Copies of this chain bind each other. A is one copy, B any other.
Amino acid sequence: MNKTGTSDLKYLFNPRSIAVIGASRTPGKIGHDLLKNIVEYGFKGEIYPINPVADEILGYKAYPSIKHVPGEVDVAIIVVPVDKVTSVARECGEKGVKFLVVITSGFGEVGNVEAEEELLKIAREYNMRILGPNIFGYTYTPVRLNATFGPRDVLEGPIAFISQSGALGIALMGWTIMEEIGLSAIVSVGNMIDLDVVDISKYLAEDLNTRVITIYLEGLKPNTGFKFIEEMKKVTKKKPVIVIKAGRTTKGMVAVASHTGSLAGTDHLYNAAFKQAGIIRAYTIEEMFDYARLFATQSIPRGDRTLIITNGGGVGVIATDVAEETNVPLLSPSSDLISKLRETMPWFGSPKNPVDLTGQAGVDNYVKALKIAFESKEVDNIVLLYCRTAILDPRDLAKAVAELYNDYRDTGKPIVAGFVGGLDVREAISILNRSGIPAYPSPERAVSSLSKLLEYRSYLLKNK
């Protein structure tokens, strides 16, 4: 694991110069596509393509070897065939490279453990750190660095994503773009022969551009479980960490073993470890990013009493069910609060919790009810629900709520939205998300996500 302290990862995430060893002029080749991403995503540092025959690639002067590069090199990204990796690594060592990002596969994941050991030995000898091997690269958006061969236009935002699976990680890069999920970092950790999930998490815990860390985890190296808990405890004191752990079941563990060669371990051990470390567990990919979306914008609330505001009884009932099942305490409003809320709705509405503004609710009804909720000392968290009605265009509602939220953002009172309907509802959800209000296409996902914020809150309270 970490030998020299994570502050040393500064130049991995903020490199002044990057070499791509195995850079290629041929589109479709990893050595081309990765370099292209670095160039086109807008990295501002020095870029050195390394290629034995090319003079220039993608407008950058190419060098026959790392040794020929004139300046210092912070990061060397290695995409040469597996049998060339160690010799290239040694050259990097001699050059004084700080980080080796080894894309190349064919190491431990196919039983080639010797090559891994030799690579690690070289790295230790020259005091280099290794990310990988068998990875798709990494991204750090604050410095416009996309050193992956995945999709280029990663959106900037406060969510960091660490992936132990390459294919899934790349696929999710595209997915986050489509879903408008903003990321600070994407780190493919692959075989983790040196830098591992914990090292990266520790660095990101200190990173000002990251608010929440998400991890796709298949397994830890043998005998690192205790250290994992101890180190991740420190991380979760600073930032929420959401993990999806694959290989939960017996068959899943076998599948993991044949995938990355990790030990998936018994699932209940992981569960206990996550709990102890204050890690939030997600069970599906969608859940992980649902939760992250909320943590990315909402602060830890003062309390857990939650008010649901809706225009439809049905979604109110669904939200109530999920709230009870996920331990989100629904506020019993005082008679004072009830009488205030009653003024926001027609006579057949319900001022209790869920507050049902009825299908006749317009923007005004919602705005009035939300103001009361934001201003009430009884209410710690707000769940805003909407069912598409002919009366109220969801985009109008979203805009009004976003505007209102500007006045109340400083209260730090979490709000989460669940809007149900068609295309215009999808647009409304997007408006809300862009305004910093986590919004989902169902009441279930909104409430589940909020429940994780409250779970994290209660962990922090117990582990001050």
Name A's B-contacting residues (CB within 8 A). Answer: 28, 33, 106, 110, 149-151, 163-175, 177-178, 216, 218, 246-252, 254-256, 258-260, 283-286, 311-318, 320-321, 323-325, 330, 348, 350, 352, 354, 356, 359, 387-391, 420-426, 441-442, 444-445
The CA-CA distance from A314 to B149 in the complex, in Å, is: 18
Taking a contact as CB atoms under 8 Å apart, the answer to whether B421 and A171 are in contact is yes
Taking a contact as CB atoms under 8 Å apart, the answer to whether B442 and A317 are in contact is no
The CA-CA distance from A383 to B397 in the complex, in Å, is: 41
Taking a contact as CB atoms under 8 Å apart, the answer to whether B390 and A325 are in contact is no
Taking a contact as CB atoms under 8 Å apart, the answer to whether A311 and B420 are in contact is no
- A sample of 23 cross-chain residue pairs with beta-carbon separation below 8 angstroms, ordered by A number, consists of A149-B390, A165-B315, A166-B314, A167-B387, A168-B314, A171-B315, A171-B421, A173-B422, A174-B421, A175-B420, A175-B422, A175-B441, A246-B314, A246-B318, A251-B330, A252-B320, A255-B313, A255-B316, A255-B317, A259-B316, A283-B444, A284-B445, A285-B444
The 8 A-B pairs at the shortest CB distance, nearest first, are namely A165-B314, A174-B422, A167-B312, A259-B313, A168-B314, A249-B324, A252-B321, A171-B387
Across the two chains, which residue of chain B brings its CB closest to A442? B285
Across the two chains, which residue of chain B brings its CB closest to A33? B390
The CA-CA distance from A443 to B388 in the complex, in Å, is: 29
Task: Indicate which residue in B28, B317, B420, B422 contacts A259 across the interface (CB closer than 8 Å).
Answer: B317
Across the two chains, which residue of chain B brings its CB closest to A149? B390
Given that A167-B359, A255-B313, A285-B444 are contacting pairs, would A325 and B174 also be in contact in the complex, using a CB cutoff of 8 Å? no
Across the two chains, which residue of chain B brings its CB closest to A359? B167
The CA-CA distance from A441 to B168 in the complex, in Å, is: 12
Taking a contact as CB atoms under 8 Å apart, the answer to whether A168 and B312 are in contact is yes
Taking a contact as CB atoms under 8 Å apart, the answer to whether B174 and A388 are in contact is yes
Across the two chains, which residue of chain B brings its CB closest to A245? B321
CB A28 to nearest CB in B, in angstroms, measures: 7
The CA-CA distance from A442 to B288 in the complex, in Å, is: 12
Taking a contact as CB atoms under 8 Å apart, the answer to whether B171 and A388 are in contact is yes
The CA-CA distance from A313 to B250 in the complex, in Å, is: 16
List the B side residues contacting A285 at CB < 8 Å: 318, 420, 442, 444
The CA-CA distance from A295 to B232 in the complex, in Å, is: 43
List the B side residues contacting A246 at CB < 8 Å: 314, 317-318, 321
List the B side residues contacting A248 at CB < 8 Å: 321, 325
List the B side residues contacting A423 at CB < 8 Å: 174, 177-178
Across the two chains, which residue of chain B brings its CB closest to A386? B171
- Knowing that A168-B318, A170-B389, A252-B320 are A-B contacts, what are 20 other residue pairs whose CB atoms are under 8 Å apart, sorted by A's residue number? A106-B348, A110-B348, A167-B313, A167-B359, A168-B312, A171-B388, A171-B420, A174-B422, A216-B314, A218-B314, A247-B317, A248-B321, A249-B320, A249-B324, A255-B313, A255-B354, A259-B316, A284-B444, A285-B420, A286-B442
The CA-CA distance from A462 to B146 in the complex, in Å, is: 55
Taking a contact as CB atoms under 8 Å apart, the answer to whether A174 and B425 are in contact is yes
The CA-CA distance from A216 to B421 in the complex, in Å, is: 15
List the B side residues contacting A320 at CB < 8 Å: 249, 251-252, 254-255
CB A268 to nearest CB in B, in angstroms, measures: 14
CB A423 to nearest CB in B, in angstroms, measures: 5
Taking a contact as CB atoms under 8 Å apart, the answer to whether B359 and A166 are in contact is yes
Interface centre among A164, A283, A421 (most CB of B within 10 A): A421
List the B side residues contacting A283 at CB < 8 Å: 444
The CA-CA distance from A422 to B174 in the complex, in Å, is: 4
Taking a contact as CB atoms under 8 Å apart, the answer to whether A425 and B171 are in contact is yes
The CA-CA distance from A285 to B388 in the complex, in Å, is: 15
List the B side residues contacting A354 at CB < 8 Å: 255
List the B side residues contacting A165 at CB < 8 Å: 312-315, 317
